[in-house]
Structure 1
Amino acid sequence: MKLKDERIYMKSYEYNSIFTPQEFQDFARDIIQIKENKFIESFAEGKDGGIDGRFIDQEGNITILQVKRYKNMNVTILNTMKEEKRKMDLLIKNGKRVDRYILVLSEDISVQKKDDILDIMSEYIKCSEDVIMKADLNNLLSMPKYKEIEDKYYQLWYPSTNILNRKLFDVVNGVLLQKSKMCYADMIEEKQIFVETSVYKEIISKVHKNKTVIISGEPGVGKTMLGKQVALFYLGKYHTETFINVSDMNDLYTALKINGKKVIFFDDFWGGNQLEKIKVQNVSKELTRIIKTVKKRNDCILIITTREYVLEQGLKYNEELRNIVKKYKLECLIQQYSDADKLQIYYGHLKHAELAWKQTYELMKHGNLVINSKNYNPRVLEMFFESVETNMLPDKCTRILDRYLECPLDFWKDIFNGLSKEARILYVIMAIALLPIEASILRKFYNNYIQKKENSYEWKNFFEVQIELEKTVIRTDLYDVTADKVLVVTFQNPSAKDFLIDLLKNNFFHYKNIIDDSCMYYSQYVEYLRILDIIGAPIEIYETIYEKALDAIDTDSILFIDKLYMSF
């Protein structure tokens, strides 16, 4: 891969957001090695007895390096250092030497806090310069002799959202800008729990060779996070300052027009309404042409994710694209994860979950049972940890986790059964709503259904139901479209749609009337037909809905993306 190595200097690095604790520890060690011109011993991650690094000079004097990376340091640092003082005292008591102590902090603290640390650690910290904070690290990195550190730690080159704003502002609409910023922020946050598995390394290799990768796989295997973290790797590795999160071909063409080096991320390309667009608008030829174009360019990386079963449906009648996909695709399977990968992913979630200590301890002991589950799934783990409350008994946490792993759809089944009658109905209605969708249109579907029922005035109104679903199932975002602001609804997680398809597959006739009575537009009927095909519905039902789709062919488009681009 030939991407020109241009350097864009930043004024300040935010170490908490770009480094994991272990990465920051390694980074701090390398900084101090250059500063002191000494080789520093490193130790395995875990309980360190107050020692993250150590070096011994020719006279036998021992210098201890301790590295701290966490948020709100001004609030807790003094209590932390009192504990570190106790650890140093214990070393001395056990006959060890501590002649000097260097402390590296990921955040800045006040002058008073720094003076307090010097008082607490007065027996070990010999001068104020041995307490090195964020501003000090940034100052050191501005010096030429630390250039190799910036070259080694590509994470330092992740662009700030301000840089993304400046780069994208003049060339893309507000929706694409906002979408890219939100996705980028998620990427930075998710990096804290991400594990660099062998699959990840294989994807990096494929991108390096082809500049494009199509990551496919079963729902919940971790395709989206993999794609995001590969994008983040290249944003840092090649000092790329432009990231664009696209959701359709128009977005993709816009992204390709942006000057300079860029990483483009297209999540779930063949999901939702994209599959229909491939059939109707011959998007396959466009995608083939774009992949070939990206291959020839030196300023662009394209990362696409898709579900394997949806991909196969999309390629059924597109042999040319099938041949292209064979070269650029990497299928992500749970079976590709080693036991060590699985355990790291599990512990990553556990480490960053907001749990009580007893909950953490019980779940930590549960690790081997989790990774040996036949239904091990990163998405299920993510949803489980998000659902745990700190007042939940530890043994209940493990029981719930076991149940979710035994049958992952139980997670959504529990959520679905816990919803009000109206919320369950709206959830089912969303099975044929092509997402993202304007909240006002979704409200029409809901109202169209309840108006056909007796005592409709007793039903919850749409806004009450929307608020209820926002707690677990959907998310609502505000988009700027020309001079108007539009509320748009989508699922919080794609597996919410997977559950609906499974629900309809096993209980179609129970929910058929809800779908029938909410149908108003041609696009709904098209999605209805797609689901009937997936669940293997009787042919006579398919024919009936097909006739209704023809009758509705002249109804307005309800696709949010189509309306968005028509407004420009």
Structure 2
Amino acid sequence: MTFGFDALSPAEFEDLSRDLLGRELGVRFEAFGPGPDGGVDGRHAGAGAKTILQAKHYRLSDFDALARTMGKERRSIDLLAPDRYLLSTSRPMLPANKDRLAEIIGSALRTTADIFGYEDINALLRKFPEVQKSHVKLWLSGAGVLERVLHAATHNFTTLIRDDIVQKFMVYAENPSFQAGREILEKYHVLIVSGPPGVGKTTLAEMLCYLYLGEEWELIAIRSLDDAFAHIDDTRR
């Protein structure tokens, strides 16, 4: 499966990059909150050596835009003086592209292999498939999973159309309630979502439904507990 990363925000792509490159290198990268990052999206310090990771979500931009941005980052990189600098980008890379970026970045970049482009990130996702599931928007946006979700969701929620579902994926910002809800469902097999109007109860419920549809569970829409009990079938997911 190949991912396009279009559904991810820049912050979500940073999270994905830290997870994947951390797995690849066998280290944990520190993460930082919103705000000027000074050229640091991830940092690992150990044994007196400092590794800096930057992530650039430029999937829909041309290469020159990425090159210009990295030119502006050069001063920050020089000031940081890392022992190793890593660049992750959602932009597809040609060998000539990596060579040009290496010239722009300077000596902090050990090798062009430390530039991870679109193709490299997808290769790491195939190498570490468990990372896919921990980034639910990424996993749900995968072609095979998305088609299963679209088919099942539009069959069960007749008011939804394909564009509605895709749009929800694009704008959904995962928060702690999603993981908490998932853990409750896995442990107790039931979840009650409550709260005042406008806090996102319906969106949370829908995204959890899409998650399980992607795992090939059958969705049955009910209007009462009697409906639920009537549809219990221990032989089916």
Q: Is TM (by shorter chain) over 0.5?
A: yes
How many residues in Structure 1 have an aligned counterpart in Structure 2?
A: 233
1:241 is aligned to 214
Query: Which of 99, 107, 131 is matched with 2:115 structurally?
Result: 131
Which amino acid in structure 2 is aligned with residue 137 of structure 1? I
> 2:84 & 2:36 partners in 1: Cα distance?
21
How big is the shift at 1:50? 0.4
Query: Which of 141, 153, 162 is matched with 2:135 structurally?
Result: 153
The 3-state SS of whatever aligns with 1:83 is helix
1:292 is aligned to 229
Alignment of 1:32-71 (within 5 A): 32-58=21-47, 60-71=48-59
> 2:23 & 2:76 partners in 1: Cα distance?
27
Judged with a 3 Å threshold, the aligned counterparts in structure 2 of structure 1 residues 33 and 296 are, in CA distance, closer, same or farther, namely same
2:206 is aligned to 231
2:170 is aligned to 189
Percent identity, please.
Answer: 21
2:3 is aligned to 13
Contact 2:148–2:214 (CA<8 Å) still a contact in 1? no
2:217 is aligned to 261
> 2:44 & 2:141 partners in 1: Cα distance?
34
1:116 aligns with 2:116: no
Alignment of 1:218-367 (within 5 A): 218=197, 221-223=198-200, 226-236=201-211, 238=212, 240-241=213-214, 260-263=216-219, 287-293=224-230
TM-score (structure 1 length as normaliser): 0.35
Judged with a 3 Å threshold, the aligned counterparts in structure 2 of structure 1 residues 82 and 265 are, in CA distance, closer, same or farther, namely farther
> 1:202 & 1:141 partners in 2: Cα distance?
24
How big is the shift at 1:49? 0.5
Structure 1 segments unaligned to the other structure (5+ residues)? 1-10, 243-259, 267-283, 301-568
> 1:154 & 1:52 partners in 2: Cα distance?
21
The 3-state SS of whatever aligns with 1:41 is coil
Which amino acid in structure 2 is aligned with residue 113 of structure 1? N
How big is the shift at 1:125? 1.5
Contact 1:235–1:263 (CA<8 Å) still a contact in 2? no
Provide, for residues 95-154 of structure 1, a one-character-per-residue CA deviation record: whole Å limited to 9, x for no partner: x532321001123244443332112113221211111012112112222xx244235334
> 1:141 & 1:299 partners in 2: Cα distance?
30
How big is the shift at 1:40? 2.7
Contact 1:15–1:107 (CA<8 Å) still a contact in 2? no
> 1:77 & 1:205 partners in 2: Cα distance?
39
Provide, for residues 196-229 of structure 1, a one-character-per-residue CA deviation record: whole Å limited to 9, x for no partner: 376x6776577554547576864xx255xx4234
Runs of 4+ in 1 over 6 A off after TM superposition: 166-170
Judged with a 3 Å threshold, the aligned counterparts in structure 2 of structure 1 residues 211 and 262 are, in CA distance, closer, same or farther, namely farther
Structure 2 segments unaligned to the other structure (5+ residues)? none
Judged with a 3 Å threshold, the aligned counterparts in structure 2 of structure 1 residues 106 and 22 are, in CA distance, closer, same or farther, namely same
Judged with a 3 Å threshold, the aligned counterparts in structure 2 of structure 1 residues 20 and 118 are, in CA distance, closer, same or farther, namely same
> 2:149 & 2:20 partners in 1: Cα distance?
31
> 1:61 & 1:83 partners in 2: Cα distance?
25
Greater relative CO, 1 or 2 (CA 8 Å, sep 6+): 2
